[in-house]
């Protein structure tokens, strides 16, 4: 099963270059291609990008909605189907009809998320050659050769679904289903040509693992979270969260308004008592016109309300 995906590219040109490198052939964007930036936690109904092959035998990338909509979504029987089982895909009319018309597509993801069926822990599934991050000159650089090519099918409504298969032995401990991963450019080209059955691309025909995984935090459980922390390793997420808790209060104190300490000038290190005088009502604090405090603009000589 595949219900969440990630595309971590922030720019369209970078994403297209990665597709060209992964597919081994030039790809042209269509009029429907609209890249809105990275999608760190995309679910069914999201707009993602797939590669198809037109009548001129040219590869083109389009933006489509993930999941076939079966009936109105607001009704009890209406739903969106984002996955198609390899074993029964030719038996379902809403999948078999597009397949007979040659409407195959390949979705290129940085990876997808899967939850352990026993423990419920979240994992990020990625290409075997994918490197989480490497540092160059003190900055994190992501591996440009980490896109995962997954076979799918699309319809006339610009909707696509991902083909899934029974999990091989190395993935079965995590989940019993695995998307139809296309590991090499020749497999991607052959899949898009539509000349062979989908079963010929099953994972059981490959000796080496097609994907690798690492555990992530439960931050990814909600689709409201759309940030890089979704695919960060669990250790990285926990260490970052610990540092945030440790320095959070100190940071809030350092960014606090300097006027909060005006109620007790003797304890304040930011102000000197000779810069302040009090009026008769003791309600306001006034700065002398002939003296300027470095934290206060020269034109701000009006009365500043005292914070108690």
Q: Does the pLDDT of residue 294 top 80, yes or no?
A: no
Tally the C-alpha atoms within 13 A of residue 102's C-alpha that lie toward its C-beta.
10
The per-residue pLDDT for 2 is 77
Contact in structure between 155 and 98 (CB atoms under 8 Å): yes
Average pLDDT, the chain: 78
Burial of 23 (0-12, 13-18, 19+ CB in 10 A): buried
Q: In the chain, pLDDT over 90 holds for what percent of residues?
A: 48
* pLDDT tens digits for range 115-129: 998 899 999 999 887
Of 35-49, 119-133, 206-220, 280-294, the poorest mean pLDDT is in 280-294
Banded pLDDT at 228 (limits 50, 70, 90): confident
Secondary element (H or E) of residue 70? strand 68-70
Q: Is the pLDDT of residue 289 over 60?
A: no
pLDDT band at 130; cut points 50, 70, 90: low
Q: What is the pTM of this model?
A: 0.73
Structure tokens at 151: 């076979």
Q: How deeply is 11 buried, as exposed, middle or buried, from its count of CB atoms within 10 A (0-12, 13-18, 19+)?
A: exposed
Please choose, from the candidates 179, 174, 160, 167, the residue with its C-alpha nearest in 3D space to the C-alpha of residue 81.
160
Report d(CA 276, CA 239) in Å as an integer.
45
Q: Report DSSP letters for 14-59, one per residue.
A: HHHHHHHHHHTS--EE-TT----S-EEEE-TT-EEEEEEE-TTS-E
Confidence of residue 280 (pLDDT cuts 50, 70, 90): very low
Locate 83 and state its tokens: 């996955």
Sign of the torsion formed by the C-alpha atoms of 19, 16, 3 and 131: positive
| Residues β-bridged to residue 154 | 160
Q: At residue 87, does pLDDT exceed 60?
A: yes
Q: Say what the pLDDT of residue 206 is.
A: 85
């Amino acid at each position: 099963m595949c219900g969440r995906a990630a595309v971590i590219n922030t720019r369209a040109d970078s994403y297209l270059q990665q597709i060209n490198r992964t597919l081994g052939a030039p790809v042209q964007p269509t009029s429907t291609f609209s890249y809105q930036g990275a999608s760190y936690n995309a679910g069914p109904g999201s707009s993602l990008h797939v590669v198809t092959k037109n009548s001129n035998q040219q590869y083109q990338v389009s933006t489509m909605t993930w999941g076939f909509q079966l009936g109105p979504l607001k009704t009890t029987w209406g739903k969106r189907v984002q996955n198609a089982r390899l074993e029964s895909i030719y038996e379902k009319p809403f999948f078999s009809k597009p397949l007979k018309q040659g409407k195959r597509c390949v979705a290129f993801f940085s990876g997808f998320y899967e939850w352990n069926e026993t423990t419920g822990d979240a994992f990020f599934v990625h290409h075997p050659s994918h490197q989480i991050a490497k540092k160059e000159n003190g900055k994190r650089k992501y591996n440009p050769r980490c896109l995962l090519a997954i076979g799918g099918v699309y319809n006339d409504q610009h909707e696509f679904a991902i083909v899934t298969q029974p999990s091989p032995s190395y993935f079965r401990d995590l989940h019993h289903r695995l998307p139809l991963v296309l590991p090499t450019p020749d497999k991607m080209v052959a899949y898009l040509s539509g000349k062979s059955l989908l079963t010929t691309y099953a994972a059981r025909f490959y000796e080496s693992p097609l994907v690798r995984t690492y555990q992530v935090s439960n931050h990814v459980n909600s689709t409201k979270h759309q940030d890089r922390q979704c695919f960060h390793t669990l250790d990285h997420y926990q260490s970052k969260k610990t540092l945030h808790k440790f320095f959070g209060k100190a940071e809030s104190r350092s960014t606090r308004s300097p006027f909060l300490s005006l109620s007790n000038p003797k304890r304040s290190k930011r102000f000197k008592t000779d810069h302040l005088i009090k009026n008769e009502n003791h309600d306001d604090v006034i700065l002398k016109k002939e003296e300027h405090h470095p934290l206060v603009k020269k034109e701000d000589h009006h009365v500043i309300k005292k914070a108690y």
